[in-house]
Every structure is written in structure tokens, then in C-alpha cells.
Amino acid sequence: MRKAKMLLIVRCLAGSIFSATLILGGCASHSSGVAAYKRGEYSKALKECRANRTPEGDFALGLMYYKGEGVKRDPKEAATYFRRSAEQGHAGAQYNIGLMRLNGRWVQKDLKKSAYWFHLSAEQENARAQYNLGLMYARGDGVEKDRRKAVGWLARSAHQGNGQALAKLKVLLADGSWKKDAVK
């Protein structure tokens, strides 16, 4: 019975369309600053995004500082802009802050805060945030270990085409164990 359930879930998930959110993706807006950023007009983008504070503009500024586009590369400054954007509800910025908190890069490592930001992004259907949150629930990293939530988040991510999530989901459903090495 368990194998039959797993095969049914895997078949349903395997046919989904791939749509990954990259740490540097997710800048969609009709503002002139974001449009200038997309065209590579960084000085104009800097001026416009700083003048008209929007979640997308702050996200674009974060990207510029992270990648050193039109400004000196400064990941700490990028984290500041990502945080501003994340606090305004931008899913890509929430994911970035979650990832930075998870890894302790340019901000203090904090697994609880990482899970918080991943959760906000995951609720907005960010497949990579859903994947990371699923792993955190599987391992008990920053959250209480919870098999049901782990499987749920991994399934949502896999349904969007995240192959890594599908692979982890197969492992968890196949052996049912909570061995740490099963969900690395």
C-alpha cells in the first residue's frame, strides 16, 4: 500500500512544469527603475529605485549590490535592500534573506529566522523556499521536526517541477526513516 501511494504521488509530480526561482531572479515590475535595471542601465536604475521605494525596486538594488552592477559589490548592503524588500512582501527577497540566514553569509546565521523567511516566500509559491523549508522540517533545523510538514512542503515544491524536492520526497516516502543523511 505504501509503495502504491508513493508511485501515485511520484507520477503526479513528475509531469509538472519546471519553474525555479533563483536567488537572483524574481524582479518583475513596471517601474522605470526596475525596467532600467533589466536593460542594464544601472545608473538610471539606482537613481529611480532609490527615489521610488518599492519592493521590486529594493530587490533590484539588492541585486545590484550583490552582483556589483553599477556599484561596488557589497553583499552586506545587498542584504539590507533584500531585507527591506522582504519586509514589503517580495517573495524573491524573502527567499534570499532565508538563504543568507541559513548559511550565515553576510548576516548572522539564524535557523529560526531562516525558516521564518522561507515560510513567507513558500506561501507565495516560491518552489526553492518550499524545498528548503521542507528540508528544515525533515531535519528539525530551526523548526520542530515534523514529517507531515516536511512531506507537504517538498510535495508543493516538487509539484512546481523542483527535481531536488521530488528526489527527497521519494526517499522520505520510500523508507519512511528520518535519517539525517536521507535529507541532506
User: Is residue 39 located within the same domain as residue 5?
Assistant: no
The three grid cell numbers given for residue 110, joined into one nine-digit string:
539564524
Same domain, 58 and 148: no
In the prediction, which pLDDT does 15 show?
29
Mark whether 29 and 113 lie in a shared domain. Answer: yes
Half-sphere exposure at residue 80, Cβ-oriented, CA atoms within 13 angstroms: 7
Three-state SS string over the chain comes to CHHHHHHHHHHHHHCCCCCCCCCCCCCCCCCHHHHHHHHCCHHHHHHHHHHCCCHHHHHHHHHHHHHCCCCCCCHHHHHHHHHHHHHCCCHHHHHHHHHHHHHCCCCCCCHHHHHHHHHHHHHCCCHHHHHHHHHHHHHCCCCCCCHHHHHHHHHHHHHCCCHHHHHHHHHHHHHCCCCHHHHC
Q: What is the widest separation between alpha-carbon atoms in the chain? A: 60
| Contact between 27 and 38 (Cβ < 8 Å) | yes
**Domain limit, last residue, from 125, 151, 171:** 125
Tally of domains in the chain: 2
CB 83 within 8 A of CB 101: no
Residue 75, domain extent: 22-125
| All residues at 6 or more sequence positions from 143 whose CB lies less than 8 Å from its CB, including other chains | 111, 112, 115, 136, 137, 149
Residue 31, pLDDT score: 77
The pLDDT assigned to 179 comes to 52
Cell of 125: 509559491
Is the same domain home to 68 and 107? yes
pLDDT along the chain (184 residues), means of 10: 42 29 45 89 93 92 95 96 97 96 93 98 98 97 96 97 95 68 47
Query: What local confidence, expressed as pLDDT, does residue 24 receive?
Result: 44
CA 78 to chain centre: 16
Give the domain CATH number at 72.
Answer: 1.25.40.10
